[in-house]
Structure 1
Amino acid sequence: MGGIVDFDVCFPSATVDVRDMHQVSGVPVADLAAITHTRSFPVLAEHETSAGLASRAAARLLERLGTDRSAVREVIYAGSGVWDTPFWSPAASVADELGIRNAHCYEITNFCNAGLTAIRLAADSVAASPGTYTLVLLGDRLSRMVDYGDPDSKALFNFGDAGAAVLLADDGCAFRVLHSAMRTDPSWSDYYRGEWRDGRVVIRRGPHRRGLGAAYVENFGRLAGEALAAAGREVGDVAWFLINQGDKGMHERLLATLGIPAERSVFNYGRLGHMGGADTLIALNDLLAEKKLREGDLILLATSAMGFSWGITALEYSG
C-alpha cells in the first residue's frame, strides 16, 4: 500500500458556547458540559462552507510541498453526504479552485469514517500508479445539522466542524499505511437519520436502544486485532492510539479493554468538540507539533460513523 506524504487541518472562524445551547434547549449547562467537556469549540460561521475549509487546508498543503498539480490523478471528498450545495460535487469544485485539471474527482459518504475509508482506497490506488498523487479532502457541516432546540439530541451537541486535506503517494511518505480493517453493523442503520426542518437537514435519533456503547468497544477491539495481525504486530507495539473525539467515557473504556495506557492516546475533549472525520488527524498533528513521534512508531487510528461503521487504520511513521 501507499502512504500519507503530509496533511493539513483547517478550523472555522466561529465558535459555539454551551450557554447558548442551554438558552435554546433548556438543558442545564452542567449536563451539557458533561457531553462537550469544554465551554466552547469551533463551528462554521454563517459565511463559511465545509468545502471552503477543505480547500484552504489543501491549498496550504500543496503549496508547502510544492506539488505538481498535474500529478494529482484523484481528488476524493469524504464526509456525510450533506454537502454545502445539493446535487453538487465538492471534490470537483475544490479541484477547480486548486488548479487540478487532470484528476478524477468524486465523493465518498461514510460519515465520520469516510476520511479513513478514502485513505484506504487512495493508498491502494497510488501503489498501483507510481509517480501519481491522490488528494483526500475531509469536510462536513456537522454543527449545521444539530438542532439545539431538541433536548433529545443533546448527545450530538458536541459536534463541531473542521476541514482537512491529505496527500497520498507510493513513496516519499511520512506515514505508511500498513492495513485498514473496517466493518458495519447494519442493525443500527436507522438509529440516527436526517430530516428536513426549516429548510435544512437536522439529525434525529430513533427510539433509544441499549448496547451501542458496548458495540463500539467490541468492534474497535475486534478490528484492532485484525489490523495488528495483518501488520504482524501486537498491542504492546502500539505507540499511539488515536480515536474520534465523540465519547470520552467510551474512549477510556476502550483503552482499558485493549490494554493501552491512556498516555499513549490524545484527549482533546477539553478544547475541541467532535470535529467530524478530522479528529484523528488533529490528534496526529498535535503529536507532530509536540515532536512526540519517533521513526518506526506504530499508530492506530480508530474511526466510527453513523450507520454504524467502525474502522482501525494502522500507520507506521517514517519521519
Structure 2
Amino acid sequence: MTVFSVILGTGSALPAQRVSNAELAERVDTSDEWIVERTGIRFRHIAGPEETTGTLAADAARAALASAGVEAASIDLIVLATATPDQTFPATATRVQNALGILDCVAFDVAAVCSGFLYAVQVADSMLRAGVHRRALVIGAETFSRILDWEDRTTCVLFGDGAGAIVLEAREAEGDAPQGILATKLHADGRYNDLLYVDGGVSTTGTVGKLRMKGREVFRHAVTNLASVMQESLAAAGLQPGDVDWVVPHQANARILDATARKLDLAPEKVIVTVDRHANTSAASVPLALDTAVRDGRIQRGDLLVLEAMGGGFTWGAAVIRF
C-alpha cells in the first residue's frame, strides 16, 4: 500500500494595512520606480498592533479548513514555519491550536526562514506517510515588519507580513497519477550565515535584532540553488520540467523568479507571481502564492506543481506535488 499526503484545501491571511511604494517613500529614502525596477514589488501588508504571526496563522488555518471542508477537531498535527514567532516559547503552533479550539494534537514550529514552509511540508509528509498522524495543518506565517530596520532602504522595502496554510491528509494512492506530495528535497549550508541573517538572538545579544542582507550575493546563490533543487526534486519524482503545470516559488524578487524560470526553460506564464502584491513574506510566501492561484482558478485538481524556496542559513528546498 502506497500512501501520499494530499492537499485537501488551502488558505491565507493578510494584515488589514496595505502599504504602497509611494506610501513607503514618505518615511524611507526611496521611490516607487526604484523599488519596482529592482524587485517588482508594488505593495506589502504590514501587521498592526493587534495582529501577530499567531493571529495571521490562525486565520489562514481557518480558511484552509473551510476550503478543505473539514473540522478543526479532525486535525492531529500542526507544523508552523516561522522566523518571527509570537514568543520565544511556547511554539506559535500551540497558540494556533488553542485559537482553533483543538484540545489535543501535536503542534510545533519549524525555523528555516524563507524555506520554512518547504521544511514543514516534508516533516508533516513524513509523519503522515509513516502512519503516525492522519490529517495535518501546515502553515507558513510571518511578521517580518517587526525585525526590519526602517532606516535601511535596501532591505525594508522588500518584506511584508502574512500567512498561508494547507490541510494535508494521508491517503492511499489511486490510479497512475496519484494526488499528493510526490517528492521533496531540502538543503542547508551554514557557511553563508553572514549574507542573510538577523543581528540578534536570545542566546547572543538578548535582543530580537534586525534583518541584514547582502542582496547581490543572495541573488546569485538563489538562482543557482533554486534551479538545481527543482531539477533534483523532479528527478526524484521521475518527471521533467516539461511535465510541470505550475511553479509556485518563494516570492523574494521578480528578477529571481525570471532568472530561475529561464534556467529551467520554463515559460514565464507557468510561474505564479504574487511578489508585486505581497512582497517577500518569508515562510508565508509559498503557501500564500499557492492559495492565491487556487482561489483565482489557475491551479486545478490534477495539476502538477513545483514549490520552491531559499532563505537565510542558507536553506533551500523544493516539493513536487500533484494537486
TM-score of the aligned structures, taking structure 2 as reference length = 0.87
Q: 1:126 to 1:24 in 2, by over 3 A?
A: same
| Counterpart residue number, 1:141 | 143
3-state SS, counterpart of residue 95 of structure 1: helix
Gaps of 5+ in 1: none
Select the residue among 175, 180, 192 that pairs with 1:176: 180
CA contact (8 A) 2:8 2:67 kept: no
TM-superposed CA distance for 1:68, in Å, is 4.6
| Counterpart residue number, 1:190 | 194
TM-superposed CA distance for 1:234, in Å, is 0.9
2: distance between equivalents of 1:213 and 1:219?
Answer: 10
Gaps of 5+ in 2: none
Q: Deviations over 1:3-53 (max 9, x none)?
A: 222121111101223234334332344323334534432121122111101
Is 1:316 paired with 2:316?
A: no
3-state SS, counterpart of residue 235 of structure 2: helix
Q: 1:27 to 1:65 in 2, by over 3 A?
A: closer
2: distance between equivalents of 1:288 and 1:128?
Answer: 28
Moved more, 180-189 or 31-40: 31-40
Is 1:253 paired with 2:255?
A: no
3-state SS, counterpart of residue 223 of structure 2: helix
| Counterpart residue number, 1:105 | 107
Question: Which runs of at least 4 in structure 1 moved beyond 6 Å after TM superposition?
Answer: none
Q: 1:308 to 1:37 in 2, by over 3 A?
A: same
1: distance between equivalents of 2:229 and 2:42?
Answer: 33
Select the residue among 52, 67, 71 that pairs with 1:49: 52
Q: 1:64 to 1:223 in 2, by over 3 A?
A: closer
Is 1:86 paired with 2:92?
A: no
| Counterpart residue number, 2:163 | 163
> Percent identity of the aligned residues?
22
Q: 1:20 to 1:218 in 2, by over 3 A?
A: same
Q: 1:131 to 1:250 in 2, by over 3 A?
A: closer
Is 1:24 paired with 2:27?
A: yes
Q: 1:112 to 1:210 in 2, by over 3 A?
A: closer
Q: 1:38 to 1:109 in 2, by over 3 A?
A: closer
Q: Deviations over 1:124-147 (max 9, x none)?
A: 211222772122222111122111
TM-superposed CA distance for 1:237, in Å, is 0.7
3-state SS, counterpart of residue 93 of structure 1: helix
TM-superposed CA distance for 1:315, in Å, is 0.6
Tell me the amino acid that sits aligned with residue 289 of structure 1: R
2: distance between equivalents of 1:107 and 1:248?
Answer: 28
Q: How many residues align?
A: 311
2: distance between equivalents of 1:55 and 1:69?
Answer: 11
Q: 1:225 to 1:54 in 2, by over 3 A?
A: same
2: distance between equivalents of 1:263 and 1:64?
Answer: 25
Select the residue among 199, 211, 219 that pairs with 1:203: 211
Aligned-residue CA RMSD in angstroms? Answer: 2.5
Q: 1:288 to 1:21 in 2, by over 3 A?
A: closer
Q: 1:175 to 1:156 in 2, by over 3 A?
A: farther
Tell me the amino acid that sits aligned with residue 48 of structure 1: E
1: distance between equivalents of 2:152 and 2:133?
Answer: 50
1: distance between equivalents of 2:256 and 2:39?
Answer: 14
3-state SS, counterpart of residue 210 of structure 2: strand
Is 1:274 paired with 2:254?
A: no
Select the residue among 217, 220, 229 that pairs with 2:226: 220
CA contact (8 A) 1:5 1:175 kept: no
2: distance between equivalents of 1:289 and 1:69?
Answer: 21
CA contact (8 A) 2:118 2:308 kept: no
3-state SS, counterpart of residue 170 of structure 1: strand
TM-score of the aligned structures, taking structure 1 as reference length = 0.88
Q: 1:102 to 1:36 in 2, by over 3 A?
A: same
Q: 1:303 to 1:104 in 2, by over 3 A?
A: same
TM-superposed CA distance for 1:96, in Å, is 1.3
Q: 1:266 to 1:24 in 2, by over 3 A?
A: same
TM-superposed CA distance for 1:161, in Å, is 1.0
CA contact (8 A) 1:5 1:172 kept: no
